[in-house]
Each structure stands twice: as C-alpha cells, then as structure tokens.
Amino acid sequence: MQSCGIPIESTDVIRLGHGSGGKLTEQLVEQIFIPRIGNPILNALDDAALLQIGGSKLAFSTDSYVVKPLFFPGGDIGSLSVHGTINDLSMRMAEPLYLSAAFIIEEGFSIAELEKIVDSFAVAAREANVQVVAADTKVVNRGAGDGVYINTTGIGIIKVINPPSANKAKPGDSVIVSGDLGRHGISVLCLREGLDLETELQSDCASLNNLVLSLTPFENSLHCMRDLTRGGLSSALNEIAHASNVGIIINDSQIAINPAVKGACELLGLDPLYVACEGRFVCIVDSTIADRVVEALRINKLGCDAAIIGSVTTEHPGRVVSKTSIGGRRIVDKLSGDQLPRIC
Amino acid sequence: MKYVDEYRDLELAGKLAKEIERLCTQRWTIMEVCGGQTHTILQFGIEDLLPANVNLVHGPGCPVCVTPVSLIDRAIAIASLPKVIFCSFGDMLRVPGSTVDLLEAKARGADVRIVYSPLDAVKLAKQNPQMDVVFFAVGFETTAPANAMSLHQAKKLNLTNYFVLSSQVLVPPVCASVLSSADNQVQAFIGPGHVCTITGLNEYKNLAQTYKVPIVVAGFEPIDILESILLCITQLESGRHEVINQYKRVVEAQGNLTAQKLLQEVFEVCDREWRGLGWIENSGLKLGSNYKDFDADLHFEKTSLVEISESAECISGQILRGTKKPTDCSAFGTRCTPDKPLGATMVSSEGTCANYFKFKRFELDSTTS
C-alpha cells in the first residue's frame, strides 16, 4: 500500500504552485486548456503567438500581473505589466506596436496610488515606443483582489524572416544569458516577506525590445529566445531542451549573480537558477556568432553582463546539466511548484 | 562573496580530491549526517571528484523527511480548524500526509502561512488575539533554540493563543541507532556543523569512543565536505577515531551555552518516532512541564486518524541507515518521484532520494521527470 498520500497531480483544487511556471503549471495547460481551446498556434506554447495576416507577420501575446507588493525597488505593477508583455513579443523578434490594458481594482484602493501606477505604466509604454490603444477598468469588492491586477495584451510586427522558436536549438549551439540572475524575484520576496537584508537591490524589470532588436543582423543564427520570468533560467532552458529534444550544458561559474541575490538565496535555501527575472533573456545561437552576439548585447546597458554560459549537445536530450564550480556536475531540473525556503 | 566563494574553489577542490585519492588504500564508507550536507554533495557533484573506493552514504539528518506521517496528519487537522493560523517553515508544506499536504489544506481554505522564524508566529499571535496561532516546530538541535525562544517570549507576553506542535529530534541518538544496527556499514561520520554550533562536541566524543568511529564536524560548502572526507580518511587509514572540528569558523567546542540553557528551560527529552526508522529512545524534545499550556498536541482535541502503513517497496529505512542508496531501489524515479513519494527520503528537498532525483538521475530517461 502506498503510504505517502495522494500524488500531487491528482489534486482537485488549484494550488498556488499551479501558477509557478513549473511542472504544475505545465499540467494545468496540458490537461485543462490545450484539450479545450488548443490549436496549432496556441499549442506551440511560445512566449508570443505568430500570426500571418495578409502580407504581415505579427506577434500577439497576453499576460496578467498580480505582483505583491504593488511597488517594489526598481519598479511597480504598472511598469512591470508593460515590460512583461513587451518582452514576450520581443522573444519572437517582433517590434512591439500596440498594447491593451485592463485594470481590475479593489474597492477602497487609493486613487493617488492608482495614479502612480498608471503614470509608471505610461512612462514604460512611451519608453518602449508602444501605444495603448484599448483599455478597460473593473472594480471588485473589497477583499476580492490585492489592490490592483493588470492584464496587458500586445501586438508587434515581425520583420525578420525566420523568428526564433523554442524548438530550434541545435547541438553545437551556444547558450547566452543577457545579464545577471534573480534580481526581480529576490527584491520582491525580501520586501513582501519583510526580510531586511540591508541591500539596495533593485528589480531588473525592463523592456527588452531595443536590446533584442539590436540582434537583428544575426537573425538567421538566432535559434531560440526566452525571457526569464517565472521559474527563472532553469525553466526557460528546460522548455528549450524539451521542445528541441536536445541536451543543454551550462557552467555555473559563468553565470553572473549579484552578491546580494546570492546572499539572500544562500540564506533562504533558494537556487538563483530558479528565481524570476523581469529584464533578462536567454538565447540559443549558432556558436560561430556567439561572441559577436555577446559583444552586441554588452553595448546596451541592459545587456552589459551578457555572457556565454553553456552549449547545446546531443547528450541527455530533454535535460539541462550544469558543470559546478568545483568541477562536478548536476541536473538542473524543472521546478515542481514554487521554490520553498528550506528549514536548514 | 566572502565565506562562500573561497569554499567553492575549483583548484582547492581538485587538490583535496587528489590528496583523498593518494591516502585511500581501501574502500571506506562515510556517512554525512545532515540533509544540508547531502544537498551540497549532490548540488555540486562532489562524488564526481572522489575515487571509487570512497563510498558516501547519506544520513538521517533531514528533519522534514523523518517527521512521521501521523504527525503531518495531526498538523493538517489542526491547520484546518476554524480560528487557527498555522505557521510552518516552507519545505514542510509540500510533505504529503495520508491524504493531502499542508499546501492543499491551504488551497481548501486553511490559514497556512510560511514564516522565516518562529518569532514571526509569536508576532502573529500578538496581532491576532482572536485566533489560535500554531507553529510547527520541526527540526534538529539547530532550530530548537529559536523555537524555545518563541515559547519563552510567548510566556513573557502572557499569550494564551500561541501553540507549538513539536517534532524536534536529536542527532546523537539517531547516530547511535545507525551504528548499533546489525547491518551497519558506516565507518565514519561527517558530523552536523550547525547542530554542533548549539550543542558543542561532547556528545560526539562519547559516540566516537563508544563506537570507535571517527567523526569530523563539518560545514556545508563543497570545500568543507571535501576537507572533512580527507580528515575521515586520514583517521580511518591510521586506525584513529577522534572528533575533529573542521567547521572552526562557526563551531566552538562547548557550543552555545545560552541556547543550551534555554533548551533545558523549555524542552524535555522524549522518545520519538522517526519516519523510516521507527521509535528511537530519547531522540526528541517535547515541551517541558512549565510550558504545557503552549503544547498544541495537548491543546487541540485529537481526531481519529487513518492508520498509516509504509510502502512495502520503499527502502528509505535502509537509505537512512546508509546500507542502501536510492539507485538500489526498484521504484526510484519511476513509481517513486518527488511528486509521488513512496517514503521518507523522497519527500523533502533535503531527502536523499529527492536529491538524487533532482541532481543525479543522468541514467534515467528525461521523459520520466
């Protein structure tokens, strides 16, 4: 007889882990949504859908933002909800053009705070050179929301012929990350949980469209691109390894991590490879242009810490393996649910 | 980062590994006691650096893993009561009871909260006088002082709505139990650095003498582990059995006397059930007579619980005693995974099987994950 209780996946209620971007989210998508509303475009599960309309190729993406706290070092829910959708479009090398914005506001929420949020939403949209062309507001009863939730949907135009996709990684390719990991996740976590780590750490929250478009000259050799949001670098690489049926090897010592992020992760027993970013992406490129891609990224402030961190291999297809700082190796697995701080 | 990077140095790791290989003339079995050390060994792939005749086996030092299912069920039953705020460290929430885990109880409406310190739970009790706040005190001697401090403070504040559900366990009795089992293979211990920060080294000296086994009290970084293996091998090869403190930057021989005094004030030693190992005499702590009013187990009515029988296939008892490895188990990675654990060592992120599954299942097909 099995002693340890029911399998996690047989749960009949939604748990927070279903929103973590890991295996539970994957189950929800595969078992609930795809069978009912799936189609070849949605089923590709890329950051943004690719639409051919008349002579134009468009990227289309939507995302909802429920961050808590609403204001955090380096941004707020307003700027985040612009950056996030812009970044999803950018991962298909689309030039973002238009956004929609839907605000779900809780009764009793301060108008002054709402103004601040919409101001920063506007600044982020202006900086990314997108127009907000459709919008909606709803107010829900006190207690039915966490202040403000925002949904944004974006459309961008794809000018490259062969946009990157998660299933295009090839053995021999190089793996490049655009900067250091985990700033967003750790700065939000510290604020939300009241962990005073005496750091001035800021979220990396930023729109990546200009940084990505600077890579247009390399379009034919850019195979995959993923922004590192929920589930961090590990989830992005596992998705690529799985979709392309290749193995990925990364070198721990080549991955940049800010000391404050590293310190907080050590303290809480979290792995920075799984912590969310909101202004970083990973790309898989032909190894012959990898150095030039890194150089191009480093010109931009948002890509100044870009580095080659690994390569694609025929070994262990579907798996991401890390070479550790002391010369050993380990598997970098998908997360099951949310990362939970360890006891000791 | 200071105190981290220098203990993860490639060159130094290589030197230590070479020295281990040079000294090691025969097969030796060494057990690291702590789940945190197991995590480091697997996370950094330390075994890749070691010669084949150093056999690392992984001990019972994961407090989450060894918490019996019946106690998790009790926790879930208390958490599901109205007017209860149930507080726990994060990694306890995903450990399955006989029907659900605490995360699922939360999804069904129980007020379950992750705290980073039991003192946060005391704060919650103060802020919510109309609610009963219960803290799930899981852990070894390392977490015990903070849990004791929360009780000490609650008493000082005259709180009548703060309770502790204790699952505190002690390291030396379980080490003795491992060494005295008939099929014991452990020849040396990598000792628990953080536990010894509190308790000091005395009890380990008794263990080393009684069982003639070298113990190296170690830190948690890869270099700490490699250096400790070297210190174990050096002793084993020369027939010595001493307690060596490798983790001098943290551990003092007498331990933390203030913490020890507090533990004596708040807790009493008791027998405890260990998941996978059964009952071990004097291996746990319960709330002492002066703190009975804070004991969640006494305060909340007991409901009838499902009888739990452990899986016949699961070999976690042997894994916790170091006689088997996860890869010796026919269910590992197939019928038993972290999402569908069959037993103790697969349930927590620090459990040996969960660590093998996460970091080391190179030989299994990726579709099984």
| Record: fold of A47-158 | 60s Ribosomal Protein L30; Chain: A; (3.30.1330)
Give dist(CA A236, CA A173) in Å, integer: 16
Average the pLDDT over B22-34 and give the result. 97
Mean predicted lDDT score pLDDT of chain A: 91
Is the CB of B146 inside 8 Å of chain A's CB atoms?
A: no
Q: Tell me the pLDDT band of A339, cut-offs 50, 70 and 90.
A: low
Place of tokens 């973590």: A20
Is the CB of B244 inside 8 Å of chain A's CB atoms?
A: no
Which residue is closest to A333 within chain B, CA to CA? B358
Residue A3 has pLDDT above 60, yes or no: no
Q: A4, B10: Cβ pair inside 8 Å?
A: no
| Confidence (pLDDT) at A17 | 81
Q: Tell me the pLDDT band of B349, cut-offs 50, 70 and 90.
A: confident
Q: CATH 3.30.1330.10 region(s) of chain A?
A: 47-158
| Record: fold of B65-170+255-299 | Rossmann fold (3.40.50)
- Segment among B16-20, B113-117, B165-169, B211-215 with least mean pLDDT: B113-117
- For the record, the structure tokens of B242 come out as 């001493």
Give dist(CA A335, CA A190) in Å, integer: 21
**Contact (Cβ atoms closer than 8 angstroms) between residue B223 and residue B14:** no
Which residue is closest to A315 within chain B, CA to CA? B362
Average the pLDDT over B211-217 and give the result. 98
More confident residue, A7 or B165: B165
Is the CB of B338 inside 8 Å of chain A's CB atoms?
A: yes
Residue B329 has pLDDT above 90, yes or no: yes
Residue B367 has pLDDT above 70, yes or no: no
Q: Identify the H or E element spanning A51.
A: strand A49-53
- For the record, the structure tokens of B348 come out as 């927590």
More confident residue, A123 or B309: A123
**Contact (Cβ atoms closer than 8 angstroms) between residue B157 and residue B137:** no
Q: Tell me the pLDDT band of B95, cut-offs 50, 70 and 90.
A: confident
Residue A6 has pLDDT above 60, yes or no: no
Residue A337 has pLDDT above 90, yes or no: no
Give dist(CA A211, CA B234) in Å, integer: 55
Going across the sheet that includes B28-34, the strands are B54-61, B28-34, B188-192, B215-218, B243-245
DSSP one-letter string for B161-203 = SEEEEEEEE-HHHHHHHHHHSTT----EEEEEHHHHHHH-SHH
Please name the residues in contact with B161: beta carbons below 8 A apart, sequence gap of 6 or more: B125, B128, B129, B130, B131, B132, B133
- Segment among A85-99, A327-341, B230-244 with least mean pLDDT: A327-341
Residue A134 has pLDDT above 50, yes or no: yes
- For the record, the structure tokens of A142 come out as 């006190």
Which residue from B281, B145, B71 is spatially nearest to A344, judged by alpha carbons? B145
DSSP one-letter string for A85-113 = HHHHHHTTTEEEEEEEEEEEEETT--HHH
| Confidence (pLDDT) at B305 | 63
- For the record, the structure tokens of B334 come out as 């197939």
Q: Tens of pLDDT along A69-99?
A: 999 999 999 999 999 999 999 999 999 999 9
Which residue from A155, A176, A181 is spatially nearest to A310, judged by alpha carbons? A176
Average the pLDDT over A125-132 and give the result. 97
Residue B365 has pLDDT above 50, yes or no: yes
Nearest-by-Cβ selection for B1 from A2, A262, A321? A262
More confident residue, A294 or B340: A294
Average the pLDDT over A224-228 and give the result. 95
- Around B286, how many Cα atoms within 13 Å sit in the side-chain half-sphere? 12
Q: What share of chain A is helix, strand, coil (3-state, %, to 5)?
A: 35, 25, 40
Q: Among 3.90.650.10, 3.30.720.210, 3.30.565.10, 3.20.20.140, name the CATH number for the domain at A166-331.
A: 3.90.650.10
Residue A344 has pLDDT above 60, yes or no: no
Question: Strand A281-285 and strand A148-158: pairing?
Answer: unpaired
CA distance B237 to chain A (A): 26
Give dist(CA B170, CA B143) in Å, integer: 11
Q: B91, A343: Cβ pair inside 8 Å?
A: yes
CA distance B215 to chain A (A): 21
More confident residue, B90 or A211: A211
Q: Tell me the pLDDT band of B341, cut-offs 50, 70 and 90.
A: confident
Residue A20 has pLDDT above 80, yes or no: no
Q: B359, A330: Cβ pair inside 8 Å?
A: yes
- Segment among A76-85, A159-168, B44-53 with least mean pLDDT: A159-168
Residue A62 three-state SS: strand
Rounded to 5 degrees, what angle do the CA atoms B335, B340, B346 make? 90
Handedness of CA A227, A232, A238, A239 (dihedral sign): negative
Place of tokens 């103060």: B126
Q: Tens of pLDDT along B144-176?
A: 999 999 999 999 999 999 999 999 999 999 999
Q: A262, B91: Cβ pair inside 8 Å?
A: no
- C-alpha distances (whole Å) from B309 to each of A1, A325, B77, B302 are 7, 42, 19, 20
| Confidence (pLDDT) at A314 | 97
Q: Tell me the pLDDT band of B301, cut-offs 50, 70 and 90.
A: confident
| Confidence (pLDDT) at A341 | 60
Is the CB of B46 inside 8 Å of chain A's CB atoms?
A: yes
CATH, domain range B5-59+172-245: 3.40.50.11750
Nearest-by-Cβ selection for B44 from A1, A269, A324? A324
Contacts of A260 in chain B (CB under 8 A): none
Contacts of A337 in chain B (CB under 8 A): 94, 103
Average the pLDDT over A25-54 and give the result. 92
| Confidence (pLDDT) at A274 | 92
Please name the residues in contact with A237: beta carbons below 8 A apart, sequence gap of 6 or more: A175, A248, A250, A282, A320, A332
List the single best residue of B104, B169, B226 to mutate versus A (max A Cβ within 10 A).
B104
Mean predicted lDDT score pLDDT of chain B: 92
Residue B289 has pLDDT above 60, yes or no: yes
CA B220 to chain centre: 13
Please name the residues in contact with A78: beta carbons below 8 A apart, sequence gap of 6 or more: A116, A117, A118, A119, A120, A121, A122, A124, A150
- For the record, the structure tokens of A39 come out as 């189609």
Q: Tens of pLDDT along B174-185?
A: 999 999 999 999
| Confidence (pLDDT) at B307 | 67
Which residue from B125, B141, B231, B230 is spatially nearest to B194, judged by alpha carbons? B141
Locate the domains of chain B by residue range.
5-59+172-245, 65-170+255-299, 316-361
Contacts of A319 in chain B (CB under 8 A): 362, 366
Instruction: Kindly report the pTM of this predicted structure.
Output: 0.87
Q: Tens of pLDDT along B114-148?
A: 998 999 999 999 999 999 999 999 999 999 999 99
Q: A3, B9: Cβ pair inside 8 Å?
A: no
Residue B294 has pLDDT above 50, yes or no: yes
Nearest-by-Cβ selection for B45 from A262, A329, A343? A329
Residue A224 three-state SS: strand
Give dist(CA A215, CA A296) in Å, integer: 7
Place of tokens 């380096």: A74
| Confidence (pLDDT) at A95 | 96
Neighbours of A228 (CB within 10 A): 29
A133: left (phi over 0), alpha (psi -120 to 50) or beta: alpha
Q: Tell me the pLDDT band of B202, cut-offs 50, 70 and 90.
A: very high
